[in-house]
């Protein structure tokens, strides 16, 4: 069942989303060669706590940190480490969630570390664009498959691949609610969108094959072929008109 949120609930999710979105914007200034993935996590956690919110990821299924920080071939769920230093030319995906009065927002960006290759730049760009391609269909009158299809088409037309093993999701009092939102699919299929649905839409896209493996830490997903991966995510609300982005 897809849980419909009231206006009051969406007000709380908006407050939560503001902090998540602000953190991701600030990270464009923080991320540079030489900092560790733990430095990024410390910054994220500090801002969440300063705003009197709760880091939603910490303790979720035993996850140890406030953010996921995934470098280069790491797709998602990279565990921050003081030993993992970012180098010029890396790309790094940061995924953040915070909880306000029980309501969760979830969003991610992929950042360039120093000067990166044109191909890496394009991968990051297409991940973002594919989110907005899907967002065009986040309106009453469309179905979930229209959103998934638009994302997948955009990614594949650019020559990249869509990760199959992880999907976007409904979000609210729980981080993962129904429906699952694949980043590829068939138009005209799936549930009809309705006012008050709240989704975390999150294309994860690979430079090479869509195949991913799990690292020994049982969290970090990496590309099987070792090529780059990028992630772009926002929490959004279906309204009477245009979708509202809570984490921009």
Residues within the interface to ligand MF3 (CB under 6 A): 57, 60-61, 63, 68, 77, 95, 97, 106, 169, 200
Contact by Cβ (8 Å): 96, 121: no
The whole-angstrom separation of Cα 34 and Cα 74 is 18
By CB atoms closer than 10 A (0-12, 13-18, 19+), residue 195 is: middle
Question: Which CB sits closer to Co ion, 45 or 233?
Answer: 233
Q: How far is the CB of 95 from ligand MF3 (least distance, A)?
A: 5
Taking alpha carbons only, the member of 101, 108, 107 closest to residue 52 is: 101
132 binds, among ligand MF3, Co ion, none (CB under 5 to 8 A by kind): none
CA distances from residue 110 to 107, 140, 216 in whole angstroms, order as listed: 11, 29, 23
Question: Which CB sits closer to Co ion, 122 or 176?
Answer: 176
- Strands 204-206, 177-181: pairing is unpaired
Q: How far is the CB of 217 from ligand MF3 (least distance, A)?
A: 12
97 binds, among Co ion, ligand MF3, none (CB under 5 to 8 A by kind): ligand MF3
Question: Which CB sits closer to Co ion, 143 or 231?
Answer: 231
Q: How far is the CB of 202 from Co ion (least distance, A)?
A: 5
Question: Which CB sits closer to ligand MF3, 170 or 190?
Answer: 170
Contact by Cβ (8 Å): 137, 146: yes
60 binds, among ligand MF3, Co ion, none (CB under 5 to 8 A by kind): ligand MF3
Question: Which CB sits closer to ligand MF3, 31 or 66?
Answer: 66
**89: helix, strand or coil:** coil
Contact by Cβ (8 Å): 213, 73: no
77 binds, among Co ion, ligand MF3, none (CB under 5 to 8 A by kind): ligand MF3
Q: How far is the CB of 61 from ligand MF3 (least distance, A)?
A: 6
């Amino acid at each position: 069942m897809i849980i419909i949120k009231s206006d009051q609930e969406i007000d709380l999710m908006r407050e939560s989303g503001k902090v998540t979105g602000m953190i991701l914007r600030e990270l464009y200034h923080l991320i540079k060669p030489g900092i560790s993935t733990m430095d990024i996590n410390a910054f994220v956690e500090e801002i969440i706590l300063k705003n009197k919110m709760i880091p939603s990821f910490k303790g979720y299924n035993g996850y140890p940190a406030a953010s996921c920080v995934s470098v280069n071939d790491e797709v998602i769920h990279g565990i921050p480490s003081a030993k993992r230093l970012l180098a010029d030319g890396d790309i790094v995906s940061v995924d953040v969630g915070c909880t306000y009065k029980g309501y969760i927002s979830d969003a991610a960006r992929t950042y360039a570390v120093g000067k990166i290759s044109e191909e890496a730049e394009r991968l990051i760009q297409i991940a973002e664009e594919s989110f907005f391609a899907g967002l065009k269909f986040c309106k009453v009158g469309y179905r979930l498959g229209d959103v998934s299809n638009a994302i997948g088409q955009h990614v594949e037309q650019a020559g990249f691949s869509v990760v199959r093993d992880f999907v976007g999701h409904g979000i609210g009092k729980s981080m993962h609610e129904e429906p699952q939102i694949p980043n590829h699919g068939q138009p005209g299929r799936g549930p009809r969108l309705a006012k008050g649905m709240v989704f975390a839409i999150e294309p994860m896209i690979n430079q090479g094959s869509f195949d991913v493996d799990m690292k020994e830490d049982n969290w970090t997903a990496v590309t099987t072929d070792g090529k780059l991966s990028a992630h772009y995510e926002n929490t959004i609300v279906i309204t009477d008109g245009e979708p509202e982005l809570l984490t921009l």
